[in-house]
Amino acid sequence: MSTEVIKVTINGAEFEVPKGARLIDVCRDKAFDIPSFCYYADLALQASCRMCLVRIEKMPKLQTSCTIICTDGMVVTTQSEEIEKAQRSMLEFLLANHPLDCPVCDRGGECELQEMTFDWGGLEERFTEKKNYHPEKYLSPMVANDPQRCILCKRCTRVCDEWMGEDAIEAGGRGANTVIGTYGGWLDCSQCGNCIEVCPTGTLLDGTYRHQARPWELTQTVSTCTYCSDGCQMSLGSRGGDLMRIVARDRYVNGLNGEFLCIKGRFGHPFVNHEERIRTPLIRYQKGGKLIPATWDDAIQHVAEKLDAVVDKHGRDALGVVGSPRITNEANYLLYKFATELVGTNNYTCTDAHNLKPFFDNLGAPLATHRDIRYAKTILLIGGEPEELQPLTGKQIRQAVRNGGARLIVINSTRIRLTEQAAQFIHIRPGAEDAAVLALASNSNDTLAVQKLGIEINELQSLRQSIAEAQGDLVIMFAGEMSSGAQVALAQLPHALRAEGRRVLLHPLPLFNNSVGAHDMRMMNGAMSATQMLAAAGDSIRAVYMAGSFLNEQLRAHGEALSKLDVLVVQEMFETETTAFADVVLPAASFAEIDGTYTNNDGFVQRVRQSIPPVNQSKSDWMITAQLALELGMDFGFELSASAVFREIAEHVPAYAGLRYPVLKDESSPVQAKYKISESRDLTSELIALRTAVEALPDSGNKLDGTPQVGHELFKIGTLTGKVPQFHLLAAGNPRPETVRISPLYQITVNADRRDALAVAGEV
What does the binding site for ligand SF4 look like in residue numbers (CB under 6 A)? 143, 150-156, 159-160, 164, 166, 168-169, 180, 187, 189-195, 199-201, 203-204, 225, 227-228, 230-232, 257, 261-262, 264-265, 391-392
For the CB of residue 612, give the shortest distance to ligand SF4 in the complex, in Å: 19
49 touches, from ligand SF4, ligand FES, none (C-beta below 5 to 8 Å by class):
ligand FES
324 touches, from ligand SF4, ligand FES, none (C-beta below 5 to 8 Å by class):
none
Residue 56 backbone phi and psi in degrees, to 5: -115, 125
- Nearer Cβ to ligand SF4, position 257 or 412? 257
For the CB of residue 26, give the shortest distance to ligand FES in the complex, in Å: 14
Give whole-number Cα distances, 375 to 1, 21, 51, 382, in Å. 11, 16, 29, 19
For the CB of residue 143, give the shortest distance to ligand SF4 in the complex, in Å: 6
740 touches, from ligand SF4, ligand FES, none (C-beta below 5 to 8 Å by class):
none
Q: How many helices (H) and strands (E) are present in the chain, helices listed first?
A: 24, 28
- Nearer Cβ to ligand FES, position 52 or 488? 52
- Nearer Cβ to ligand SF4, position 159 or 645? 159
The one-letter amino acid code at 760 reads: V
- Nearer Cβ to ligand FES, position 38 or 144? 38
For the CB of residue 51, give the shortest distance to ligand FES in the complex, in Å: 5
For the CB of residue 152, give the shortest distance to ligand SF4 in the complex, in Å: 5
For the CB of residue 169, give the shortest distance to ligand FES in the complex, in Å: 19
- Does residue 79 contact residue 11 with C-beta atoms inside 8 Å? yes
Give whole-number Cα distances, 552 to 530, 531, 703, 756, in Å. 12, 11, 26, 16
- Nearer Cβ to ligand SF4, position 54 or 232? 232
The angle subtended at Cα 355 by Cα 372 and Cα 717, nearest 5°, is 85
152 touches, from ligand FES, ligand SF4, none (C-beta below 5 to 8 Å by class):
ligand SF4
156 touches, from ligand SF4, ligand FES, none (C-beta below 5 to 8 Å by class):
ligand SF4
3-class SS of residue 316: helix
225 touches, from ligand SF4, ligand FES, none (C-beta below 5 to 8 Å by class):
ligand SF4
- Nearer Cβ to ligand FES, position 36 or 625? 36
For the CB of residue 154, give the shortest distance to ligand FES in the complex, in Å: 10
Under DSSP, the state recorded for 162 is: I
- Nearer Cβ to ligand SF4, position 245 or 619? 245
Residue 731 backbone phi and psi in degrees, to 5: -65, -25
515 touches, from ligand FES, ligand SF4, none (C-beta below 5 to 8 Å by class):
none
547 touches, from ligand FES, ligand SF4, none (C-beta below 5 to 8 Å by class):
none
261 touches, from ligand SF4, ligand FES, none (C-beta below 5 to 8 Å by class):
ligand SF4
For the CB of residue 622, give the shortest distance to ligand FES in the complex, in Å: 47
516 touches, from ligand SF4, ligand FES, none (C-beta below 5 to 8 Å by class):
none
Residue 516 backbone phi and psi in degrees, to 5: -70, -40
- Nearer Cβ to ligand SF4, position 158 or 691? 158
For the CB of residue 37, give the shortest distance to ligand FES in the complex, in Å: 6
- Nearer Cβ to ligand FES, position 153 or 562? 153
- Nearer Cβ to ligand FES, position 50 or 417? 50
Closest CA to 568 of 282, 252, 240, 207: 282
Spatial distance between the Cα atoms of 318 and 88, rounded to a whole number of angstroms: 75
39 touches, from ligand SF4, ligand FES, none (C-beta below 5 to 8 Å by class):
ligand FES
- Nearer Cβ to ligand SF4, position 202 or 454? 202
For the CB of residue 359, give the shortest distance to ligand SF4 in the complex, in Å: 20
3-class SS of residue 659: coil
Spatial distance between the Cα atoms of 203 and 475, rounded to a whole number of angstroms: 38
E-assigned strand segments in 690-743: none
Under DSSP, the state recorded for 530 is: H
264 touches, from ligand FES, ligand SF4, none (C-beta below 5 to 8 Å by class):
ligand SF4
- Nearer Cβ to ligand FES, position 250 or 308? 250
Give whole-number Cα distances, 329 to 336, 520, 608, 622, in Å. 10, 8, 10, 9
159 touches, from ligand FES, ligand SF4, none (C-beta below 5 to 8 Å by class):
ligand SF4
Taking phi over 0 as left and psi of -120 to 50 as alpha, with beta for the rest, 640 belongs to left
For the CB of residue 203, give the shortest distance to ligand FES in the complex, in Å: 16
- Nearer Cβ to ligand FES, position 34 or 261? 34
For the CB of residue 236, give the shortest distance to ligand FES in the complex, in Å: 30
Print the SS3 string covering 584-630: EEEEECCHHHCCEEEECCCCEEEEECCCCCCCCCCECHHHHHHHHHH
For the CB of residue 181, give the shortest distance to ligand FES in the complex, in Å: 22
Parallel, antiparallel, or unpaired: how do β-strands 378-382 and 407-412 relate?
parallel
Binding positions for ligand FES, rule: CB under 6 A: 36-39, 47-52, 64, 66
For the CB of residue 710, give the shortest distance to ligand SF4 in the complex, in Å: 8
Spatial distance between the Cα atoms of 541 and 565, rounded to a whole number of angstroms: 7
Residue nearest to ligand SF4 (CB): 265
36 touches, from ligand FES, ligand SF4, none (C-beta below 5 to 8 Å by class):
ligand FES
Spatial distance between the Cα atoms of 653 and 717, rounded to a whole number of angstroms: 35
- Find all residues with CB under 8 Å of 151, minimum gap 6, and list them: 37, 49, 94, 98, 113, 200, 201, 203
Residue 237 backbone phi and psi in degrees, to 5: -100, 115
Residue 125 backbone phi and psi in degrees, to 5: -110, 105
Burial of 448 (0-12, 13-18, 19+ CB in 10 A): middle
Print the SS3 string covering 238-301: EECCEEEEEECCCCCCCCCCCCCCCHHHHHCCCCCCCCCCCCCCEECCCCCCCCEECCHHHHHH
3-class SS of residue 348: strand
Spatial distance between the Cα atoms of 520 and 522, rounded to a whole number of angstroms: 5
For the CB of residue 393, give the shortest distance to ligand SF4 in the complex, in Å: 8
3-class SS of residue 696: coil
For the CB of residue 225, give the shortest distance to ligand SF4 in the complex, in Å: 3
66 touches, from ligand FES, ligand SF4, none (C-beta below 5 to 8 Å by class):
ligand FES
Closest CA to 574 of 270, 198, 154, 145: 270
For the CB of residue 722, give the shortest distance to ligand SF4 in the complex, in Å: 16
50 touches, from ligand SF4, ligand FES, none (C-beta below 5 to 8 Å by class):
ligand FES
- Nearer Cβ to ligand FES, position 90 or 582? 90
- Nearer Cβ to ligand FES, position 111 or 389? 111
- Nearer Cβ to ligand FES, position 52 or 568? 52
Number of other residues whose CB lies within 10 A of the CB of residue 298:
13
624 touches, from ligand SF4, ligand FES, none (C-beta below 5 to 8 Å by class):
none
- Nearer Cβ to ligand SF4, position 49 or 582? 49
Spatial distance between the Cα atoms of 267 and 363, rounded to a whole number of angstroms: 35
Under DSSP, the state recorded for 53 is: E
Spatial distance between the Cα atoms of 273 and 363, rounded to a whole number of angstroms: 41
